[in-house]
Amino acid sequence: MASHLHSFFPSSPFIILALVLAFVPAFVHALTLESDIETLRALIQSLDPNSFPSTSYLRTWDFNTDPCETSVGFLGILCSVTANTSASRIIAIELDGVGYEGYLTPAIGNLTELTALDLSNNRFRGPLPNTIANLEKLSKLNLSGNYFTGGIPSDITNIKTLELIDLSTNHLSGSIPADLSVIRRLLYLSLSNNQFSGRIPNLSGLWRLRTLMLDHNVLYGNIPQLPISLRTLSLANNLISGHITPVERITELRILDLNNNRLSGEIKEEILTLPQLRELDAQGNLLHGHLPVRLVTYENLRTINLAQNRFTGSIPSEYGAKLGRPWRRLFLDNNFLTGSIPQEFYKVKIRGSLAMNCLKCPTSIELCHGGQQPASDCAAANNSQ
């Protein structure tokens, strides 16, 4: 019996060691894919080391250790072991916003397992590398609060998995890609505080989109067809003209910000079919006609700003009953409203202003501080309506 066991289990220690190693799972000794390590090297080499605070994430990147094996270093990255290889892969880079200065290396496109890239609130500059389009598993792209220039890479639409794109507060320019609607999983899109110009493309194909922020650019033209799924829409501080009508289809809107554009016409009753609306800001446009009475039917409305337009007529008496419950802010200043103010305005204190109209508005009421328009301007405005 012993001889049979001896023949089945060889006595050589080298053979025994080989047999043991053969049964050790490969992932126990998994190392980061070399090309991923080289990409991390390229990323850190494209930045100014003098911009790394002593407590920053990048100070923990020690390439004498393996990025995915160390338990203390390489803060700001997450790793995974893919199903078809024993090598660990980088699946997320989320750097701290401490003012890293430099460029985003084109080598970033080699991290093909990346699902999240967040470099927000730093000082990256230069163009967005076209190789970003290689990151076909990316769901989160946040490059906000930097100094990136140039346009949005046209091939970004190759990344069908994207759910969040935030490129706000950079120096990006050019037009908004017309085919962004093919990224059907997108929930959040912010391109605000840049220098984008041209018309807003038809984005109605983004049927899951909840937040669209395009404010503080140089966009012009009419409001296009937009996703009816939107909860937040900001087009403020552009050159958008035409009528407010296209927003009537977005019945789930909670926040609507159209301030400082060139919108004109009346706010007609049929437009106001937004029962979930909490904030309405259309300050600084060319809207005219009477104030919409239907606003009082919105149970969730808290903030109304229709200042700096050309509204005429009286303040609807129904507005009085909404002051403070639920309306918390009401700005109607710099219009051409006439007549007396509802009695509730004498009693209820809310934030807002009725100044620079043509109202009988006692200065003892805080909302009336700032006075009214000259009588001659009031007469001219109301005669022209």
- CATH number, span 26-174: 3.80.10.10
Sorted by sequence, the CB contacts under 8 Å of residue 302 that are 6+ apart come out as 278, 279, 326, 327, 328, 329
Are the C-beta atoms of residues 332 and 308 closer than 8 Å to each other? no
The tokens for 377 are: 């301007």
Q: Is residue 168 classed exposed, middle or buried when 0-12, 13-18 and 19+ CB atoms within 10 A define those classes?
A: buried
- Name the one residue in this structure whose structure tokens are 């446009």: 285
Cα-flanking dihedrals φ and ψ of residue 59, to 5°? Answer: -70, -15
Cα–Cα distance, 229 to 185 (Å, whole number): 12
pLDDT at 30: 54
Domain assignments of the chain as residue spans, ordered by start = 26-174
The tokens for 162 are: 């994207």
pLDDT single digits (tens) 211-238: 999 999 999 999 999 999 999 999 999 9
Cα–Cα distance, 102 to 294 (Å, whole number): 52
Cα–Cα distance, 84 to 87 (Å, whole number): 9
pLDDT at 82: 61
Instruction: Over range 176-188, report the average pLDDT.
Output: 95
Among 86, 93, 90, 106, which residue's Cα sits nearest to residue 31?
86
Instruction: Over range 288-299, report the average pLDDT.
Output: 91
pLDDT at residue 92 above 60? Answer: yes
Identify the band that residue 377 occupies on the pLDDT scale cut at 50, 70 and 90: confident
The tokens for 15 are: 């053979």
Identify the band that residue 210 occupies on the pLDDT scale cut at 50, 70 and 90: very high
Instruction: Over range 314-342, report the average pLDDT.
Output: 95
Instruction: Over range 129-133, report the average pLDDT.
Output: 97
- Residue 23 or residue 200, greater confidence: 200
pLDDT single digits (tens) 350-369: 999 999 999 999 988 999 99
Sign of CA dihedral 233, 223, 138, 170: negative
Cα–Cα distance, 31 to 68 (Å, whole number): 7
Instruction: Over range 234-263, report the average pLDDT.
Output: 95
pLDDT at 4: 40
pLDDT at 380: 77
Identify the band that residue 26 occupies on the pLDDT scale cut at 50, 70 and 90: very low
Identify the band that residue 304 occupies on the pLDDT scale cut at 50, 70 and 90: very high
The tokens for 99 are: 């003012």
Average pLDDT, the chain: 89
pLDDT at 161: 97
pLDDT at residue 35 above 90? Answer: yes
Instruction: Over range 316-323, report the average pLDDT.
Output: 94
pLDDT single digits (tens) 103-126: 999 999 999 999 999 999 999 999
- Name the one residue in this structure whose structure tokens are 């290396």: 105
Buried b (16+ CB within 10 A) or exposed e, 361-371: beeeeebbeee
Percentage of the chain modeled with pLDDT above 90: 78
pLDDT single digits (tens) 60-89: 999 999 999 877 789 999 998 766 657 899
Alpha helix positions (H), the chain:
2-8, 13-22, 34-45, 375-384
